Amino acid sequence: MIRRAPVLALLLACTSGNAERSGANAPPAAPAVAEQTPQPPAPLGDEEGAILFATACTSCHTGGFVQGSRISEKGWGNEITKMRKWGALVDEDQAARFATWLSKKYPVAEAPPPDPGISPAGALATAALDAAPGAQGDAQHGKELFTQACAACHGATALGTGGGPALVEHPVLQQRDRFTLLVQKGKGRMPGYDLKPGDVESLVTFLRGLGR
Amino acid sequence: MKFGVLSALASRASLAGAAKPDLIVRNERPLDLETPVSVFTEEFTPNDLFFVRSHFGAPAIDAANWTFRVEGLVEKPLELSMAELRKLGSSSAPAVLQCAGNGRSLFVPRVAGAQWARGAVGQAQWGGVRLSDILDRAGAKSAARFVTFLPGDHPMGEKVPPFLRSIPIEKARKDVLLAWEMNRSPLPFLHGAPLRAVVPGWAGDHWVKWLRGIRVEEKEDQGFYMQTGYKMPTEPIAPGGTPKAVQSLTALPVKSILARPAEGAVLKAGRVEVRGIAFGGAGPIAKVEFSVDDGATWTAAKLEKSRGDGAWQRFTGVWRASAGSYAILSRATDSSGAAQAREPQWNPGGYLYNAWDAVRCEVRS
């Protein structure tokens, strides 16, 4: 299972964005320390906010849920404080600026936009289970693949981290086609992966074995 | 693994394209689906149109090997299969399930959370075993004060608190069911199969799904969802304000919801039926009235008899409508005299909205 180059490039782009951001927020260089009144941090740029939105929110929520909330800057501040405790990947110095960005990007005054990408039938399909899962795979091979490619974000025991949701007993484990597509194409901040024959079965067999 | 609880999903799929009302998608992940209020002329909300609220999403439970455990302050801890549970007795009751946040999108200023309009509510006939029978069988000790429901859904990450809700043991013994049947069909997967809590008269946050067991305790659970989440101000506060003190929400306040006419309807002058549902956690509804003059005068609607605490009562009013633009308002009063008010009690969680219901319509001669 090999990470695909285009997605890797995208990931690098995101990473460099993070690097620039952390560079900007690094401890001030000598001349800045000498200043009597520190400048307030610059507001998040549109692209910067969008990257943070994708990395911090959409690993657990659909984007529409966040975009449709239309709450105040103070309200976003409270939500971000709560979600940071729960593992959301927002640095402390980003939190207030992200609240400002969200409240300006999705203003209270504008009515929540309908989400044309979701139909009730589609939403229910995502919850439907494949009652006849595919052939049994090699759990040990699945564990190796998981440890190499997935554990960093989904957690060593697949119980989730701020970077990716829990997979234990996740309904997608009963949906072979959807699972395969997800791993191949990626989703949100998750990159796509090339799969060899048998990889899906091995991963699913390993992950299903983690259920309570 | 075998999954025998997908009948509702299958029948849902067969509705595609049919001219029936559809669930409204409020959120895809976690899945939140809202019932269109036009359905509330029915006594029972069909399973495939019943609203869905999920904290972390349905777990893929292997129903064949699933067990329910009773732990904590009991003489005999239990571990029961579905077959064993079914042998412990079968009870059935109609009860309203309403999300604590139903109507959240109607609060001003807006509040974070699932942006429900008016349809995160439904009534079903629930079938299962009485929780009091389980507590008797396990031998709840005299120090036991609370029952905590142990859910099957997994938090999104290790830092996310589990969805743990507790109820006082008096409520647990009074009328709570552990249900495997919904409207005389097997409980659908999205509604908590193989087993969910049914807590008549209380908000939906207590109706825990995918139950793996219960813990009998001296104290309520000390986690986020009992100590921080689902709290209401003890005293009314100004919209947008911060409460001085809060308490856990429990019973539903008195409420009515208009099913007919539909919002934005264009009607013919003459006889118009005003229909809907009314319910509350403090006992039966005594009266429902409607107004078409901004609450200056009210007309009583005909109200069904109560079918028991926790069930809703449908109402039908008759309005002799003449041409014009109107807002139809409805107001319920329960048997203790508590009535819906013009304004909701704003709170930071956006819970328990129960202001007068309202739909706008136009009447043409």
User: The dihedral of CA A205, A211, B5, B6: what is its sign?
Assistant: negative
Q: Do the chains contact at A169 and B59, CB–CB below 8 Å?
A: yes
Q: Which two tokens stand for residue A13?
A: 């782009």
- Write out chain B residues lying below 8 Å of A122, CB-based: 28
What pTM did the predictor assign? Answer: 0.82
Question: Is B341 at the interface with chain A, CB within 8 A?
Answer: no
Q: Is the pLDDT of residue A151 over 60?
A: yes
Quote the distance between the C-alpha of residue B177 and its chain's center.
14
The residue of chain B nearest to residue A124, with distances taken between CA atoms, is B9
Q: Do the chains contact at A126 and B28, CB–CB below 8 Å?
A: yes
In this prediction, residues A17-42 reach a mean pLDDT of 52
Measure in Å the smallest separation between the Cα of B298 and chain A Cα atoms.
32
Residues 6+ apart with CB under 8 A from B108: B239, B346
Q: Please give the share of chain A, as a percent, with pLDDT higher than 70.
A: 69
pLDDT of residue B136: 97
The residue of chain A nearest to residue B4, with distances taken between CA atoms, is A131
Helix (H, G, I), strand (E, B) or coil at A121: helix
Question: Is B106 at the interface with chain A, CB within 8 A?
Answer: no
Spatial CA neighbour of A132 closest among B278, B215, B1: B1
Spatial CA neighbour of A169 closest among A184, A159, A178: A159
Q: DSSP assignment of B67-81, as one string?
A: EEEEEESBSS-EEEE
Q: Do the chains contact at B58 and A108, CB–CB below 8 Å?
A: no
pLDDT of residue A1: 61
Q: Do the chains contact at B160 and A86, CB–CB below 8 Å?
A: yes
Q: How many CB atoms lie within 10 A of CB B16?
A: 12
Question: Is B218 at the interface with chain A, CB within 8 A?
Answer: no
In this prediction, residues A53-74 reach a mean pLDDT of 87
Spatial CA neighbour of A84 closest among A162, A164, A26, A190: A162
d(CA B194, CA B283): 30
- Write out chain B residues lying below 8 Å of A174, CB-based: 1, 3, 60
> pLDDT tens digits for B237-249?
999 999 999 999 9
Number of Cβ pairs < 8 A linking chain A and chain B: 139
Query: Cα torsion for B127, B133, B135, B137, to the nearest 10°?
Result: -130
Cα angle A29, A30, A35 (rounded to 5 degrees) comes to 100
pLDDT of residue B14: 35
Q: Which of A62, A70, A90 is the best substitution to test chain B (most B C-beta atoms within 10 A)?
A: A62
pLDDT of residue B316: 98
Spatial CA neighbour of B179 closest among B125, B252, B250: B125
* Segments of chain B with pLDDT less than 70: 1-20
Measure in Å the smallest separation between the Cα of A154 and chain B Cα atoms.
8
Q: Do the chains contact at B27 and A62, CB–CB below 8 Å?
A: yes
The residue of chain B nearest to residue A171, with distances taken between CA atoms, is B60
Q: How many CB atoms lie within 10 A of CB B324?
A: 12
Query: Cα torsion for B84, B86, B87, B93, to the nearest 10°?
Result: 150
3-state SS of chain A: helix, strand, coil percent to 5? 55, 5, 40
On average, the pLDDT of chain A sits at 75
In this prediction, residues A46-57 reach a mean pLDDT of 91
Q: Do the chains contact at B3 and A129, CB–CB below 8 Å?
A: yes
Q: Which of B24, B29, B67, B110 is the best substitution to test chain A (most A C-beta atoms within 10 A)?
A: B29
Question: Is B275 at the interface with chain A, CB within 8 A?
Answer: no
Q: How many CB atoms lie within 10 A of CB A193?
A: 21
- Write out chain B residues lying below 8 Å of A154, CB-based: none
DSSP state of B209: S
In this prediction, residues A53-81 reach a mean pLDDT of 89
Q: Please give the share of chain B, as a percent, with pLDDT higher than 70.
A: 95
Question: Is B154 at the interface with chain A, CB within 8 A?
Answer: yes
Alpha helices in B263-355 (DSSP H): none
pLDDT of residue A122: 43
Report the range of poorest mean pLDDT among A47-51, A111-115, B148-152: A111-115
State the complex-level ipTM.
Answer: 0.85
- Write out chain A residues lying below 8 Å of B1, CB-based: 133, 174, 208
Q: Which two tokens stand for residue A186?
A: 């990626």
Preceding omega of B109 cis (within 30 degrees of 0): yes
Q: Is the pLDDT of residue A53 over 70?
A: yes
CA distances from A69 to A7, B89, B115 (A): 30, 44, 7
Q: Which helix (H) or strand (E) holds A19?
A: helix A5-24
Question: Is B161 at the interface with chain A, CB within 8 A?
Answer: yes
Q: Do the chains contact at A174 and B158, CB–CB below 8 Å?
A: no
Are B96 and B346 contacting, i.e. CB atoms less than 8 angstroms apart?
A: no
Spatial CA neighbour of B242 closest among A76, A200, A78: A78
- Write out chain A residues lying below 8 Å of B30, CB-based: 61
Measure in Å the smallest separation between the Cα of B292 and chain A Cα atoms.
27
pLDDT of residue A6: 41
Query: Which residues 23-52 of chain B have a CB within 8 Å of chain A?
Result: 23-31, 33
> pLDDT tens digits for B99-126?
999 999 999 999 999 989 999 999 999 9
Place of tokens 């005054």: A109
d(CA B275, CA B43): 12
Measure in Å the smallest separation between the Cα of A12 and chain B Cα atoms.
25
Q: Do the chains contact at A129 and B60, CB–CB below 8 Å?
A: yes
Measure in Å the smallest separation between the Cα of B271 and chain A Cα atoms.
35
Q: Which helix (H) or strand (E) holds B27?
A: strand B24-27
Query: What is the pLDDT confidence band of residue A5, given thresholds at 50, 70 and 90?
Result: very low
pLDDT of residue A3: 60
pLDDT of residue B139: 98
